Amino acid sequence: MTTVSPAANALKVLLGDRFLCMVCQRHHTPNSRLIAACRRKLALQALRELRADDHRTWRPLIDHYYARLKWYTAQRRITESETKIINELLTEINKCAVRESFGSATLAEIASPDGKALLAARYAQWKQTVDAQIARAAADSDQLVQRLATLLPLPYPADLPTGNSRNHPRRSAPQWTPAPSSQAEIDRVAALFSPPAKVTRSGYRLILTGAVPDGLPDIASYRRTGVDLELLGLDSTFWHHAELSDRRKRLKLRTRSFALTSPEPPKTPPQPTLEPLPKPVQLLLFPKDSGL
Pair 143, 175 in one domain? no
267 part of a folded domain: no
Q: Which one is predicted more confidently, 289 or 23?
A: 23
| Count of the separate structural domains present in the chain | 2
63 part of a folded domain: yes
257 part of a folded domain: yes
41 part of a folded domain: yes
Count CB neighbours of 280 within 10 A.
6
Q: Which long-range contacts (CB under 8 A, 24 or more apart) does 282-291 make?
A: none
Pair 35, 85 in one domain? yes
Pair 140, 199 in one domain? no
Which residue, of 151, 179, 214, is where some domain finishes?
151
Pair 119, 16 in one domain? yes
Pair 96, 218 in one domain? no
Lowest average pLDDT, out of 10-14, 87-91, 265-269, 276-280, goes to: 265-269
pTM above 0.85, yes or no: no
C-alpha to C-alpha distances, 21 to 1, 4, 103, 140, 266, nearest whole angstrom = 12, 10, 18, 44, 84
Pair 233, 125 in one domain? no
- For residue 274, pLDDT over 70 is answered with no
Where residue 122 falls among pLDDT bands split at 50, 70, 90?
very high
Q: Identify which of 6, 33, 37 has the alpha carbon closest to the alpha carbon of residue 20.
A: 6
Pair 135, 49 in one domain? yes
Pair 221, 178 in one domain? yes
Pair 125, 210 in one domain? no
Where residue 283 falls among pLDDT bands split at 50, 70, 90?
low
In whole angstroms, give the CA distance from residue 212 to residue 230: 15
Which residue, of 91, 124, 151, is where some domain finishes?
151
Where residue 40 falls among pLDDT bands split at 50, 70, 90?
very high
Give the phi and the psi of residue 273 in degrees, each rounded to 5. Answer: -85, 130
Pair 139, 172 in one domain? no
DSSP 10-31: HHHHHHT--EEETTTTEEE-TT
Pair 10, 147 in one domain? yes
List CB contacts of 27: < 8 A, sequence separation 6 or more: 2, 18, 19, 20, 21
120 part of a folded domain: yes
280 part of a folded domain: no
Range of the structural domain that residue 168 is part of: 162-261
pLDDT tens for 219-264 read 877 667 889 999 999 999 999 999 998 888 899 999 999 998 876 5
Pair 61, 171 in one domain? no
What does the chain come to in residues?
A: 292
